[in-house]
Amino acid sequence: MTAIDRDNLKIFAGTSGSELALDMCDHLELPLGQGDVSHFPDGEVFVKLNEDVRGRDCFVVQSTCMPVNDNLAELLIYIDCLRRASAKRITAVIPYFGYARQDRKDEGRVPITAKLVANLIASAGADRVICMDLHAAQIQGFFDIPVDHLTAAPVLLDYFKGIRKELGDCTVVSPDVGNVKVANMYADLLDCELAIIDKRRRSGDDIVMNNLIGEVDGRTVLMFDDMISTAGTICSAANLVIEHGATDVMAACTHPVMVGLAMQRLADSPISKIIVTNSIPDGNRFDPLKKRIISLPISQLLAEAVHRIHHDMSISALFRRAGGTKR
């Protein structure tokens, strides 16, 4: 690694990015940037920097997870604060990008909120954005500033390669057609078979899974997705592969959103292990499933990306062994 630039590289933490930012700084052997986030009695966010950032390369880490609007507003205010303090370059590090699912007009009279959020981040003063496993890779094109789209695939692959012998005969199952490319990448790199489920979504919560294309009988099934939100898709897929003879089911995702009935559905499902990353702070949300959930750190991956951006080095080199980016 190139020598760390302790004078000109600064990493700041928003409320939802505090643990990640600390771990990133530990990896880079940097002190965490000094800044305070507080709230006025009416809920307004106030950000104050406690050190000089003039002419420096600044990164602010913040996932726009629940509470989504509060965390988004805090990120925008942090960026504005850095801009007005004359930072040379401001990069928003957004491990989980909220509103990513609102990326198109799938019916009349609805917004494209992902584009709106991209505009807000750029307008606040960000010069660059780092995201991880966007729900739709084309969201990169919504930004008028450079976007580095990272993937947690290297982190997840390291885990599964470490237990590959224990898995035995194994099939990677794509829970929907749109995820086939990702599933195929994992199947190739883990030397597994591939199967696909035909999923039809009737509404936001109503999902029907009818057909399974591929062989899972007597095999361990692995399922990968960018996020687990309400867990309806992943749990329905797990039940289907068990009906078709799978002996074990493990699920993995980058973003453990896990809202609504997700915890109960996962608790009632045949999924034996749920592998996630810490792109979203758990805040003890996983306690009901702590025997099944394994959380993998992505701080080193993000820290390496920050280091490479600061020194004008290639980001894509980080992902050559993982088959590239998500899509």
Which residues are tagged catalytic?
199
Rg over alpha carbons for the chain, rounded to the nearest Å, is 20
- By the 10 Å C-beta count (0-12 exposed, 13-18 middle, 19+ buried), 18 is classed as middle
For 132, 139, 160, 183, 248, the CA distances from 194, given in Å and listed in that order, are: 24, 27, 16, 7, 15
| Three-state DSSP state, 263 | helix
Q: Which residues contact 195 (CB under 8 A, 6 or more apart)?
A: 171, 172, 173, 174, 212, 213, 214, 215, 216, 221, 241
Detail the DSSP E strand segments found in 53-201. Answer: 57-61, 89-94, 128-132, 147-150, 170-174, 193-201
Q: Which residues contact 189 (CB under 8 A, 6 or more apart)?
A: 157, 322, 323
- By the 10 Å C-beta count (0-12 exposed, 13-18 middle, 19+ buried), 85 is classed as middle
Residue with tokens 């609805």: 110
Question: Listing from the earlier edge strand, what are the strands of the sheet with 207-213?
Answer: 207-213, 193-201, 170-174, 220-228, 248-256, 271-277, 293-296
The answer to whether 15 and 39 are in contact (CB under 8 A) is no
The answer to whether 53 and 35 are in contact (CB under 8 A) is no
Quote the crossing angle between the two packed helices 113-124 and 68-84, to the nearest 10°.
30
- Token couple for 159: 């885990």
The answer to whether 319 and 154 are in contact (CB under 8 A) is yes
